[in-house]
Amino acid sequence: MPIRMIKPSDGGSFKTTIEERFDPSDDHVVELISMNDYNGISSMDGKPYTNLMWHFRIFDADGIAFMSVEEEAAYDFVEWSTMSLVKAKQVAKAREWASALLGHELTDAECEALADDFDGALVGKRALASWKLEEDKKNGGKKLKFALLRPIPPRMRKASAPAPVPAPVAVPVNGAATAPQPIRESAAERRARLEAELASMEDEVADEKDLPF
Question: Per-residue pLDDT tens for 63-83?
Answer: 999 999 988 899 999 999 999
Q: Where in the chain are the domains?
A: 14-160
Strand partners, 40: 49
Q: What is the pLDDT of residue 54?
A: 97
Q: What is the pLDDT of residue 212?
A: 34
What is the reported pTM? 0.68
For residue 179, give the DSSP letter.
P
In the predicted model, is pLDDT for residue 194 greater than 80? no
Q: How far apart are CA 172 and CA 22, in angstroms?
A: 43
Neighbours of 16 (CB within 10 A): 14
Radius of gyration of the chain measured on its C-alpha atoms: 27
Q: How far apart are CA 13 and CA 134, in angstroms?
A: 17
In the predicted model, is pLDDT for residue 105 greater than 60? yes
Within 13 Å and on the Cβ side, how many CA atoms surround 14? 7
Q: Which residue type occupies 58?
A: I
**Strand arrangement, sheet containing 142-150:** 77-81, 48-59, 28-41, 126-135, 142-150
Collapsed DSSP state (helix, strand, coil) of residue 9: helix
Task: Please provide the DSSP assignment of 105-171 as one string.
Answer: PPPHHHHHHHGGGHHHHHTT-EEEEEEEEEE-TTTSSEEEEEEEEEPPPHHHHHHHSPPPPPPPPP-
In the predicted model, is pLDDT for residue 197 greater than 70? no
Neighbours of 103 (CB within 10 A): 14
The answer to whether 6 and 29 are in contact (CB under 8 A) is no
The answer to whether 105 and 151 are in contact (CB under 8 A) is no
In the predicted model, is pLDDT for residue 149 greater than 50? yes
Q: Which residues of 177-209 are buried (b: 16+ CB within 10 A; e: fewer)?
A: eeeeeeeeeeeeeeeeeeeeeeeeeeeeeeeee
32-36, 107-111, 205-209: which range is least confident on average?
205-209
Between 142 and 112, where is the model more confident? 112
Q: What is the pLDDT of residue 16?
A: 81
What mean pLDDT do residues 159-177 have?
53
Q: What is the pLDDT of residue 8?
A: 55
